[in-house]
Structure 1
Amino acid sequence: MYATGLMDQENINAREPVLDTVDRVSELCFGLFMALTFVGAVSAVTAGEGAGRKMFYTALGCNLAWGLADAVMFLVRTLTNRGRRLTLALTMRHELDAAAGVRALREALPRWITPLITDTELELIRARLSAIPDLPRRPRFLRADIIGAVAIFLIVVSSTFPVALPFVVFSDVPTALIVSRVLTIAILFGSGVALGRHSGFGGWKAGFAMAALGVMLTMAIIALGG
Structure 2
Amino acid sequence: MQSNAEQKPGRVLDPVDRVTEVIFGLLMAMTFTGTISVVTADQEAERVMMLAALGCNLAWGLADAVMYLLRTLIERTRNRTLLANLCGGADPATGQALVADALPGRLAAAAGTDGLELLRRRLIEAPAMPASPRLGWEDFKGALGVFLLVVASTFPLVVPFLLLEQTQLAVRLSNLIGLSVLFVAGWMLARYAGAKPWQGAIALTITGALLIAAIIALGG
Q: TM-score, normalised by structure 1?
A: 0.85
Q: What RMSD, in angstroms, separates the aligned Cα atoms of the two structures?
A: 2.7
Q: Which moved more, 1:160-169 or 1:30-39?
A: 160-169
Q: Which moved more, 1:178-187 or 1:35-44?
A: 35-44
Cα deviations by residue, 1:97-136 (Å, 9 ceiling, x for unpaired): 2222222222222112111112233223223333345331
Structure 1 pair 70/99, CA: closer, same or farther in 2 (3 Å)?
A: same
Q: Which residue of 2 aligns with 1:99?
A: 93
SS at match of 2:64: helix
Q: What amino acid is aligned across from residue 113 of structure 1 in structure 2?
A: L
Separation of aligned partners in 1, 2:17 and 2:136: 18
Q: Which residue of 1 aligns with 2:160?
A: 166
Separation of aligned partners in 2, 1:87 and 1:15: 22
Question: Contact (CA 8 Å) 1:190, 1:207: kept in 2 or not?
Answer: yes
Structure 1 pair 86/201, CA: closer, same or farther in 2 (3 Å)?
A: same
Separation of aligned partners in 2, 1:71 and 1:159: 15
Q: How does 1:1-226 map to 2 (within 5 A)?
A: 6=2, 17-132=11-126, 134-217=128-211
The total of aligned residue pairs comes to 220
Q: Which moved more, 1:62-71 or 1:166-175?
A: 166-175
Could you tell me how far 1:14 is from its partner in structure 2?
Answer: 7.3
Question: Contact (CA 8 Å) 2:65, 2:143: kept in 1 or not?
Answer: yes
Separation of aligned partners in 2, 1:70 and 1:113: 30
Separation of aligned partners in 1, 2:70 and 2:43: 43
Could you tell me how far 1:15 is from its partner in structure 2?
Answer: 8.8
Question: Contact (CA 8 Å) 1:40, 1:221: kept in 2 or not?
Answer: no
Q: TM-score, normalised by structure 2?
A: 0.87
Q: Which moved more, 1:99-108 or 1:129-138?
A: 129-138
5+ residue gaps in structure 1? none
5+ residue gaps in structure 2? none
Which structure 1 residue ranges, 4+ long, deviate > 4 Å from structure 2? Answer: 10-16, 217-226
Q: Percent identity?
A: 43
